[in-house]
Structure 1
Amino acid sequence: MAIDPSTSATEQAQDIALSLWAQGQGFMLALLRTWNTYQVLIILGLILVAHLLRAVLGPRLHEWMRTREGWPKWRIRLLVMVHRRLRLIFFVALGWITYGIMQEVTWPSRSYLIGIAVSLGTAWLVIAFVTRLIVNGFVRGVVRYAGWTWATLIILGLTDEAQSLMDSLAVHLGDTRLSVWLVAQAMVILGALLFAARLVSTTTSGRIRQNEQISPSMQVLAVKLLQVTLYGAAFFIGLRTVGVDLTGLAFLSGAIGVGIGFGLQKVVSNLVSGVIILLDKSIKPGDVISLGETFGWINALGARYVSVVTRDGKEYLIPNEDLITSQVVNWSHSNEFVRLDIHFGTAYGDDPHKVRKIAIEAASAVPRVLAMKEPVCHIVGFGDSSVDYILRFWIRDPTQGLTNIRGNVYLALWDAFHDNGISIPFPQREVRMLNDPEDISRPTRFNPAEP
């Protein structure tokens, strides 16, 4: 990178600076004229009146705003903006009235400065309201001050000089000439295009998500593709509009490819895995999944990760690659029905036919257990101290939890067995102390050392 060594550009910048200095001196000398002094005093008077009106009416407007309960948020925000800029609003309104009256009763040159001051106030007020649409605070501030500066140059008639000055400040990157004016144009055009792309993306994404005929996974994929297309198009169109040669991006894309190959494998793998997940519809927002020790429902599908919310309120961000390479249990992939199994045992003295009937009736009485898929109970083995059973039942709302429904079924079995005299055995052991002197059945131990 080398700074432009052309002397003509330096001389041009000096000439522009001297011209602006001369115009500034002429403007200051013009203020000493009688009618110009009167206009300055009128402007100061308008500012004072606007300040007094703000001091009197501002608190009343604030108290009235506090009583506006139930209003939409956009109205409240608009009122807050108006309240904050009430002084400027009064100045602009009074200024235009004064300017119109003076245009009618005296020469136009005797209200020239008032027109400039009111025009500046109006431009600043409009820019302040328009830039509130920008969400990012830093970007909003940059756009606001840049807009105020350019509006001031337009009103003062200094745009040509400012443009020439910024264009003379340039550097050469090979065959490309990069000036401050070109950078400013690129920032304005790119900002406008990206703002339009964001507006279109937000509106279209809302309509896509409201379309019930599109599956949730395809909705996410469509929104992601739409955002990439719009933002990419805005970026390249903006660069072409300001005359940037995009052929030079080929080298940059190669460098990015090398960087991806060495340091961004996981990032690219997660991005590609996310696209695969959306295309094959293996999981979608709202599905209940189990991955290792994590059990919960999918809250959102991101470009790099999947958000899974568990029953205890924890939100896990699982990389997309893990969902592709690991075994995932999707409890609601093909349908919403889930079968659960619980194991229990009863004593050998209890009738197995009666136990099975009571277990099925107890499980069927639990609210979340489906009646359309009747529970079943089978003997699975004869244990050391019990006859072992398995009870199977179906639910259709795994997002409400699995441990709690199992607990409710176990509690229903306990109550049913208690009411019908069925016992649940547990292992018992009898311990006998061999050296206990009170044990008469203890055998006599022979000691060869005794005579």
Structure 2
Amino acid sequence: MQENLNQMAKDNAQSFIEWFKELMNYSLFNLGESNITLGLIITLSVSFIALFVITEWIRRFTVHKVLKRYQIDTGTKQSIGTMIKYFLILAGVFSILQTNGIDLSAFGILAGALGVGIGFGLQNITNNFISGLIILFEQPIKVGDRIEVGDVSGDVIKISARSTMIVTNDNISIIVPNSQFIDSQVINWSHNERKIRFNFPVGVSYKEDPQKVKAILMEVAKKNKGVLDTPEPDVLFEDYGDSSINFNLRVWTSEYINRPKILKSQLYYEIFRRFGEDGIEIPFPQRDLHLKSGFENMSK
């Protein structure tokens, strides 16, 4: 009795295995000389998922472990890691297809169909992808850069194949197509180094001593921790305005590249306080009204 049960179990297991093999070998369609089966589709799917997971791990390992040992800025590290990932994905895809016996010559037909698709509706996607490669190689922008493109201003936090992610000072993420960085004018505040100069206008009354005003502005700038000592700040006598003599306070900073209004506010608060202590008058716009003769007779 027990032997019969064991034999039945073996027969059922054998039947299941044969059924599973038939299912996996079930032909779905032909691609050139390659027979595409259900099992092959599953194998390719698992292989591609593993490829993307492994290449992403290699990218992170390269950026955070290998390149960390060298004096390379963060944006360049990210670009190198991304290019390595794309290269490994491309090599891995062809390797997986060849290993599984896929006839690669059949992809000539798919390439032709893809060309037609690009001609009809995929121009933007292709343009953005190629622009992404140009950005990674030429590096007009990098991760960590402070940029302005169009009406968007913020820090670059990610450059992908199709788009670039920018975070504004309000912590809003904006996705910008890569082609916009190639076709449009881009202002990169930190392309060479993270050190830039800001210009802050200051106006005082005509009765004030320009040398005293300059001394106060220089003192305020040098006391601010966000202002660099080298290059040192300076003050320009800008022009004679309608109601004031105007100065230009020029300061260098590396801390407030992405927060210029914060630095401006700090300096203006302190300048206003110092002007009040030293009796420096900040004028307001004044206009003189001249009435033509005969105006009173007209009003009567």
Q: Which bin holds the TM-score, normalised by the shorter protein? A: 0.7 to 0.9
2:176 aligned to which of 315, 318, 321: 318
SS at match of 1:414: helix
1:158 aligned to which of 15, 19, 36: 15
2:195 aligned to which of 323, 337, 341: 337
Quick check: 2:25–2:39 contact (8 Å CA) kept in 1?
Answer: no
> Which residue identity is paired with 1:191?
S
Q: CA deviation at 1:242?
A: 4.1
Report the more deviating stretch, 252-261 or 191-200. 191-200
1:75-132 per-residue CA deviation (whole Å, 9 max, x = no partner) reads: xxxxxxxxxxxxxxxxxxxxxxxxxxxxxxxxxx48848xx6xxxxxxxxxxxxxxxx
1:193 aligned to which of 25, 47, 53: 47
SS at match of 2:37: helix
| In structure 1, distance between residues paired with 2:222 and 2:142 | 31
When residues 230 and 374 of structure 1 are mapped into structure 2, their CA distance, relative to the original with a 3 A threshold, is closer
Quick check: 1:217–1:278 contact (8 Å CA) kept in 2?
Answer: no
> Which residue identity is paired with 1:329?
I
TM-score by length of 2: 0.84
| In structure 1, distance between residues paired with 2:188 and 2:23 | 60
When residues 215 and 368 of structure 1 are mapped into structure 2, their CA distance, relative to the original with a 3 A threshold, is closer
Unaligned runs of 5+ residues in structure 1 are 1-32, 36-108, 117-152, 436-440
2:143 aligned to which of 277, 285, 288: 285
> Which residue identity is paired with 1:253?
A
1:168-220 per-residue CA deviation (whole Å, 9 max, x = no partner) reads: 85477597574xxx523313431342244234313311221112235544444
The residue that corresponds to 1:405 in the other structure is 263
The residue that corresponds to 2:57 in the other structure is 203
The residue that corresponds to 1:183 in the other structure is 37
The residue that corresponds to 1:386 in the other structure is 244
Q: Percent identity?
A: 28
| In structure 2, distance between residues paired with 1:215 and 1:246 | 40
| In structure 2, distance between residues paired with 1:169 and 1:348 | 92
Quick check: 1:288–1:398 contact (8 Å CA) kept in 2?
Answer: no
> Which residue identity is paired with 2:191?
H
Q: CA deviation at 1:313?
A: 1.0
Quick check: 1:170–1:177 contact (8 Å CA) kept in 2?
Answer: no
| In structure 2, distance between residues paired with 1:329 and 1:431 | 44
Quick check: 1:304–1:319 contact (8 Å CA) kept in 2?
Answer: yes
Quick check: 2:163–2:178 contact (8 Å CA) kept in 1?
Answer: yes
Structure 1 residue 418 and structure 2 residue 244: aligned? no
Structure 1 residue 261 and structure 2 residue 115: aligned? no
When residues 174 and 249 of structure 1 are mapped into structure 2, their CA distance, relative to the original with a 3 A threshold, is closer
> Which residue identity is paired with 2:41?
M
The residue that corresponds to 1:365 in the other structure is 223
> Which residue identity is paired with 1:158?
S
TM-score by length of 1: 0.58
The residue that corresponds to 1:5 in the other structure is none
> Which residue identity is paired with 2:124?
K
Quick check: 1:363–1:409 contact (8 Å CA) kept in 2?
Answer: yes
Q: CA deviation at 1:289?
A: 1.0
Quick check: 1:344–1:390 contact (8 Å CA) kept in 2?
Answer: yes
Which structure is larger by alpha-carbon Rg, 1 or 2?
1
Higher strand share: 2
When residues 434 and 397 of structure 1 are mapped into structure 2, their CA distance, relative to the original with a 3 A threshold, is same
Unaligned runs of 5+ residues in structure 2 are none
SS at match of 1:243: coil
Higher helix share: 1
Q: CA deviation at 1:317?
A: 0.9
Aligned length: 295
Deviating beyond 6 angstroms after TM superposition, the runs of 4 or more aligned structure 1 residues are 432-435, 441-445
Q: RMSD over aligned Cα, in angstroms?
A: 3.4
Quick check: 2:228–2:251 contact (8 Å CA) kept in 1?
Answer: yes
Quick check: 1:296–1:399 contact (8 Å CA) kept in 2?
Answer: no
Q: CA deviation at 1:400?
A: 4.9
Alignment of 1:72-87 (within 5 A): none
When residues 310 and 404 of structure 1 are mapped into structure 2, their CA distance, relative to the original with a 3 A threshold, is same
The residue that corresponds to 1:78 in the other structure is none
| In structure 1, distance between residues paired with 2:91 and 2:271 | 64
| In structure 2, distance between residues paired with 1:331 and 1:168 | 59
Q: Which has the higher contact order (CA 8 A, sep 6+)?
A: 2
